[in-house]
Amino acid sequence: MSAVLRYRIAAAGLLCLALLVGVFFFSPEARRAHDQPATGAGAQALTPADEAMVEPEPRYAEIDRDFVKFADEEVLGFLDKNGTVDAAIFLLKHSDPKEFARLEWQDDVPYRLARKLFGERSAPQFRALLEDKEYAPTWYRVAPVIAFTSRTPESAQAILAYVQRREDVSELHTPTAHRRIDGKIAALRLLGLYQFQDQWTDEVLRQALTSDGAALLAQQWIDHLPNSYSKDKAIYLIQGSGAAGLVFSQKADNLRLVREAYEKETERCRREGKSSPLRGQLVDALIWQELIGEKGMEDFLDLRGGDGLIREALARVGKYQLTK
């Protein structure tokens, strides 16, 4: 191990302890380990149980940019193995919705972590962020947290409003603009996690499964995309997100609609002798259904993003190859 690396590890350890001590002595409000109220007389926020609430995984340390300003794999490994302080500081710093919203994840927002840090009581704060233009760069990260932690009609309506409203991304760097649009479209599928008596979320997702319905859902912004993002791409991604949302609902009628859409698009592709982006989206939805059936919804949502879901999908994609 190099001297520089040893120095970095030592510095990181000292910074951990300094931050932890500072928070304990100077920030009483930050001691609340998560969104749930403390219990017991004189309860302190940081207990052994609190420290264990977030399993110290390398990617959590990686995105905490104030805590770890470098991405050296050996340093991250060190923090992973000695993660008690790392996990505690993460909880203390990021159990505030505004702080959590600003975190930039390498993959999707971790389902398990969002569920551990937040609950229904935090939903009004996250819904407010989803309407605050100051937080527009974070909206595509805020929407999943709302869906993972709150299953009320108000939260579902907030997500739909976000999907439908126009954002001005014309002045943004191309990758940033695309990420914002992709995130908005991906949020549509989250409506499948909501089940209400009037079944309005099902109706929205069924509408999105058709090209005309997809265009109608996006009518406020579909004609204001940057030149680098085609309208056709937006339409088929909305259709794919609608299919995924119908899969999330786990209702037999919705699953049948996704299967029928896949078979119809597959037949069209066979006639034309080539596959299509829409067919790829529908294949993804069917593979997700397989995974949900095998693992359950909770474990599937924990797989989102990163190599885990990709590996699982690649192991199943062969059966969906287009044949004549």
Q: What is the pLDDT of residues 242-278, one digit of tens each?
A: 999 999 999 999 999 999 999 999 999 999 999 999 9
Predicted confidence (pLDDT) at residue 74 exceeds the cutoff of 50: no
Mean pLDDT, residues 298-323 taken together: 82
* Residue 224 located in a structural domain: no
Taking residues 57-70, report their average pLDDT. 39
The mean per-residue pLDDT over the stretch 296-301 comes to: 91
**Two structure tokens written together for 125:** 């704060």
Please report which helix (H) or strand (E) contains residue 165, including its range: none
Res. 10: pLDDT tops 80: no
Alpha-carbon distances of 305 from 55, 102, 112, 237, 295, rounded to whole Å: 18, 18, 13, 17, 16
C-alpha count within 13 angstroms, C-beta hemisphere, residue 218: 32
Residues 159-177 have a mean pLDDT of 91
Q: Which residues contact 160 (CB under 8 A, 6 or more apart)?
A: 188, 191, 204
| End-to-end CA, the chain | 57
Task: Please report whether residue 58 resides in a domain.
Answer: yes
Tell me the residue range of the domain where 79 lies. Answer: 1-33+49-95
Neighbours of 137 (CB within 10 A): 17
In the structure, what pLDDT confidence band is assigned to residue 159 with cuts at 50, 70 and 90? very high
- In our burial notation (b when 16+ CB lie closer than 10 A, e otherwise), range 301-311 reads bbbbbeeebee
Q: Spell out the residues 6+ positions from residue 216 whose beta carbon is closer than 8 angstroms to its own.
A: 207
Task: Kindly report which listed range (18-22, 130-134, 262-266) carries the lowest average pLDDT score.
Answer: 18-22
Cβ burial of 227 (10 Å; 0-12, 13-18, 19+) is exposed
Q: Which of 198, 125, 134, 206 lies closest to 158 in space, CA to CA?
A: 125
As a whole number, the mean pLDDT across the chain is 78
Residue 42 gets the label, from left (phi > 0), alpha (psi -120 to 50) or beta, of left
Residue 67 inside a domain? The answer is yes
User: How many domains is the chain partitioned into structurally?
Assistant: 1
| Range with lowest mean pLDDT among 34-43, 199-208, 228-237 | 34-43
pLDDT at residue 90, as a whole number: 59
> What is this structure's pTM?
0.73
The reply to whether 80 falls in a domain is yes
Do the domain assignments include residue 174? Answer: no
Classify residue 191 by its DSSP letter. G
- Domain membership of residue 22 (yes or no) is yes
Most confident of 36-50, 81-95, 166-180, 307-321: 166-180
DSSP per-residue letters across 46-90: --HHHHTSS---HHHHHH-TTT-----HHHHHHHHHT-HHHHHHH
Higher pLDDT, 51 or 3: 3
State residue 70's pLDDT score: 31
Question: Mean pLDDT lowest for which of 15-24, 201-210, 244-253, 260-269?
Answer: 15-24
Instruction: Please report, as a single letter, which amino acid is at residue 50.
Output: D
Residue 159 in domain: no
